[in-house]
Structure 1
Amino acid sequence: MKPAPFAYHRPTSVAEAVARLAEYDGAARVLAGGQSLVPMLNMRLWRPAALVDINELDELDDVRLDGHRITLGALVRYAALERSPLVAERLPLLARMVGHIGDRQVRNRGTVGGALAQADPTGELALACLVMGAVVTATGPGGTRRIPLSELYAGSYASTLEPDELLTAVEIPPQSRHVAFREVCRKHNDFAVLSVATTGDRDADGRWHDVRIGLGGVADTPVLAGAAAAAVTGTALDDADLEAAAAAALEVVDPPTDVRASAEYRRHLVPVHVRRALAELRAAPSR
């Protein structure tokens, strides 16, 4: 199939892009990498009145250090994250996870902003940004606002962005030194059945602090397993601590049943892979 007819705009500034979105009163869509949008158009599952192509907005296409924070422009491609020395040095979790996103073709075109605005509950980038405590910036007719990643999603494939707002950047604070990531897929580079991402720091006496555990694919949005993280904070991540965290992680899950897996199977996987991710974190060498 081919898309239904639509108007096409290619703005050269953020202000112009926002003005174009506002013209269509919620009936326009932003085109960045197009990895999700174009298939939906071709299947006519989405029939927007217009596309606003932001690929000319070079101001949104950089990875930079702002004080102690890393800022990722909305047009930064996954492939650029893979190659970035700054990401490798400062954002070890993102560096670890980005290679699990799609395949090489997807990573060459897919963008940071497009992935976060898509609000896919299985998306690796959304999970990474949640665990890292990221904040997105969005610009609309009324100005720019900052939205913590934990407040960006209203549900599965539903963000809290207004129809005339453009996600422009992601700000990420300093990160813990140690990370672990596990993902279950039916086949390589498929959509995730379940993802577990965890970060933390280890004191000289072997005790762990600032532990964060995030889960993808087990609810309408990626979620933080706060009780599970609390169960291991201040511990040496002994086997008993891992068991306690694995059990506590089930408190935040409400998994769906879909073509990839049943809710029962996803619920079974959660404690298994939380335990394994924490064991991987425990085994991480000092940095």
Structure 2
Amino acid sequence: MKPARFAYHRPTTVAEAVAHLRDHAGGARVLAGGQSLVPMLNMRLWRPDALVDINEIDELDDLRVDGERTEIGALVRYSTLERSPLVAQRLPLLARIVTRVGDRQVRNRGTIGGSLVQGDPTGELPLACLVLGATVVAVGPGGVRRIPVAELYTGSYATVLEPDELLVAVEFPSHPQHAAFRQYCRKHNDFAVVSVVATGDRGADGRWHGVRIALGGVADSPVLATAAAAALEGTQLTDADLDAAAAAAAQVIDPPSDVRASAAYRRHLVPVHLRRALTDLRAARP
């Protein structure tokens, strides 16, 4: 099957792209990597009036550093995140987690901005951006908005972005000292059934501070398990601490049942993989 007819725009500036989005009044879709958009078009599940192809907007493909802050342009490909020495140094969790996205072909085309706008509840990039406290930068007719990833999603595959807004960059604060990631898939690099990320800083006395825990595949969007993280503040991540965190995390999930797993199975997996991730975190070198 082939897509329904649509207009095609290929702007070279952000302002031009936003103007096209505004002119089509919600009937346009943004084309970046196209890894999710193109199959939906071909199956005619989406029938937009127009596509706005942003691949010629050079400013969206940059990595920028400002003190402790790191900014990644919306068009930066997964493969760039995977191989960039700058990302490896400043955002090591991102460099690690992106290797679990799809296959080499997908990573060569897919973009960080596209992943965040797509909002797949099992997506690795939204999960990593959430736990790292990232903020997205969006530009629309009314100007620039900065939206914390924790406030970006309104549900499964749904964001707070307006139809005439374009996500242009993702801003990250300073990376925590340590991070651990666990994911369960039916096969290598398949869509995740459950994902867990834990980050934190360990003091000289062996106690952990600033712990953050994010869970994927357990609700309509990635979830911050704030109570579970709070239970670990100031602890040494003993086995008892891990049990308390796992019990707290179980209270904030509302997993779906789908072709990959039942809700009950996901509920079973969350504490198992959270304990494993926290065990990995505890074993990190000082």
- With normalisation by structure 2, the TM-score equals 0.99
Residue 70 in 1 paired to residue 70 in 2?
yes
Following TM superposition, by how much is the alpha carbon of 1:68 offset from its aligned partner in structure 2, in angstroms?
1.4
Aligned letter for 1:77?
R
Where 1:232 maps in the other structure, the secondary structure is coil
Deviations 1:104-139 (A, max 9, x none): 100000001100000111100000000000000000
Name the structure 2 match of 1:232. Answer: 232
Where 1:169 maps in the other structure, the secondary structure is strand
Q: C-alpha separation between the residues in 2 aligned to 1:273 and 1:246?
A: 9
Following TM superposition, by how much is the alpha carbon of 1:85 offset from its aligned partner in structure 2, in angstroms?
1.0
Deviations 1:226-260 (A, max 9, x none): 11101111011011001110111011100000111
Aligned letter for 1:131?
V
Where 2:250 maps in the other structure, the secondary structure is helix
- Whether the aligned pair in 2 keeps the contact of 1:217 and 1:255 (CA below 8 Å) is yes
Name the structure 2 match of 1:91. Answer: 91
The residue correspondences of 1:20-99 to structure 2 (distance < 5 A) are: 20-99=20-99
- Whether the aligned pair in 2 keeps the contact of 1:93 and 1:199 (CA below 8 Å) is no
Following TM superposition, by how much is the alpha carbon of 1:66 offset from its aligned partner in structure 2, in angstroms?
1.5
Following TM superposition, by how much is the alpha carbon of 1:67 offset from its aligned partner in structure 2, in angstroms?
2.0
Name the structure 2 match of 1:264. Answer: 264
Following TM superposition, by how much is the alpha carbon of 1:83 offset from its aligned partner in structure 2, in angstroms?
1.0
Q: C-alpha separation between the residues in 2 aligned to 1:140 and 1:64?
A: 22
- Whether the aligned pair in 1 keeps the contact of 2:83 and 2:95 (CA below 8 Å) is no
Where 1:252 maps in the other structure, the secondary structure is coil
Where 1:184 maps in the other structure, the secondary structure is strand
User: In percent, how many aligned pairs have the same letter?
Assistant: 76
Q: C-alpha separation between the residues in 2 aligned to 1:95 and 1:16?
A: 32
Q: How many residues align?
A: 286
Name the structure 2 match of 1:124. Answer: 124
Following TM superposition, by how much is the alpha carbon of 1:47 offset from its aligned partner in structure 2, in angstroms?
0.2
- Whether the aligned pair in 2 keeps the contact of 1:22 and 1:164 (CA below 8 Å) is yes
Deviations 1:1-20 (A, max 9, x none): 10000000000100000000
Moved more, 39-48 or 84-93: 84-93
Name the structure 1 match of 2:192. Answer: 192
Superposition misfits of 4+ residues, deviation over 2 angstroms: none
- Whether the aligned pair in 1 keeps the contact of 2:120 and 2:156 (CA below 8 Å) is yes
Flag structure 2 segments of 5+ consecutive residues without an equivalent.
none
| Structural RMSD (CA) | 0.6
Where 1:251 maps in the other structure, the secondary structure is coil
